[in-house]
Amino acid sequence: SENEREICFRYECRYRESPF
């Protein structure tokens, strides 16, 4: 199950507005 792990994504700014 570990070997078949899949991760792939992308985010953008949703718009207090800062991501950190």
Partner 1 sequence: MLQELRVGEEVVWFDPETCFWGLGERDKLEALHSCVEDELSREMHALRSSVEVVMLYVNPTDRCNASCPYCYLPAGVKSRGRSMSTGELRRVVEEALDFFGARGVAGSVVFHGSEPLLSRESIFSVIDEYRRELHFGIQTNGLLLTEEDAEFIRSRGVRIGISLDSPDEETNDALRGRGHFRRVSEALSWLSGYEGLSVVTTITRHNQGQLAEMVRFLHSRGVPVCLMNPVRLTQRGSLSLMPEPAEMAASFIRAVDTAIELTGQGRRIVVADFANLLLGITAPSARVLMCDISPCGAGRRFLSVAADGECYPCGEFIGMGEFSGGNIFRRSLPEVIDSRGFARVRARRVEQIEGCSTCPVRNVCGAPCPAELHSSGGSMHRRSHYCEFYLRVIEHAFRVVLRGDLWHVLRRSALREKFSL
Total site size for partner 1, rule CB under 8 A: 17
Interaction between residue 1 and partner 1 (CB under 8 A): no
**Cα(13)–Cα(15) distance, integer angstroms:** 5
Interaction between residue 20 and partner 1 (CB under 8 A): yes
Interaction between residue 17 and partner 1 (CB under 8 A): yes
Buried b / exposed e over 1-20, threshold 16 CB at 10 Å, is eeeeeeeeeeeeeeeeeeee
Interaction between residue 15 and partner 1 (CB under 8 A): yes
Enumerate binding residues for partner 1 (CB under 8 A): 4-20
